[in-house]
Amino acid sequence: MVVKNTKLYCIKYWVLLLFMAASTQIQSQQEIALEDDMRTVWEVGVFAAAFSSPEYPAAGQRQTNVIPAPYFIYRGETLRIGDGSIARAVAIDKSWYELDLSLAGSFNANSEDNEARVGMPDLDFIFELGPQLSVRLSKFEFEQHGKAELFLNLQARAAFSTDFSGFNKRGYVFQPEFSYRQRGWLSEKTALSVSVSPTWATEKLHDYFYQVDSDFVTETRSAYDAKSGYLGTDLSVGLSFNATEDIRIFTFARASLHSGAANEDSPLFMEKSTYSYGVGMVWRLWESEERVAGR
């Protein structure tokens, strides 16, 4: 029974790890592909990233995680897998907008290792999934610095947490995002991405991060009833470049600004601004000979 449960745990962990790798790999892929680029119909490879981030929004302590995982991309006429989403069916392929899936994820955190949460339940793995409408607002061409695109991404996601024994719904997230992507910034294969994305969430997700029930009140931690509303704004920048023909390196940094958030008064709300950063690689092992543009 112990062996069976261990195998089941490993399977669930790898499923979640692949999900979170997909969400991170999506960001790296979006940085390197513009609409007019010629790209392979399919490709297979490996992906790895290491990053440091707060344990939860506005947390006072950080954690470092490493994600290694395989990846697969398919760019069909109506079915797309990877390369900007998990999978999506494209009924109408317009050059200036597209409807697909948005996803996000975060690792768990041990409350005993977090000074503000000692004695409280641990924070489980969180994943978010929902529709995304991407609208291209403008295209740019530079004489010496390549091409660029400006997008507005309207994202609405359902949030869930899991400890692998079950799933708990944690409400909803609304996150509009302005995203600027430039190919050829320093050299032909160098890409720059800059984005700003404010976030609002329903009460369930705020409760998960900031609520303090009477059972967990201490001398330094008062009771607190969290409410829905503004969670914070992320300012992100990413840079990617080719190390070889098949290996691409990317770095990223994000400042999360929580001043004015709905639950600033929570004893679990520790910092008005936090930072995340990391580095990763995408190694393409196999690819199709056929190439397509605009997918």
CATH number, domain with residue 194:
2.40.128
Q: Could you give the angle at the alpha carbon of 31 between the alpha carbons of 62 and 134, nearest 5°?
A: 100
Range of the domain at 56: 2-293
264-289 tens-digit pLDDT: 999 999 999 999 999 999 899 998 88
Put simply, whether the predicted model's pTM sits higher than 0.75 gets the answer: yes
End-to-end CA separation in angstroms for the chain: 47
Element (H, E) at 8: helix 2-32
Number of domains composing the chain: 1
Query: Cβ(174)–Cβ(156) under 8 Å?
Result: yes
| Cβ-contact 34, 147 below 8 angstroms | yes
Q: What is the mean pLDDT of each run of 10 residues along the chain (295 residues)?
A: 48 53 50 60 88 94 87 76 60 68 83 95 91 90 87 94 89 96 84 95 98 96 98 95 91 96 98 95 89 66
Q: How many CB atoms lie within 10 A of CB 85?
A: 20
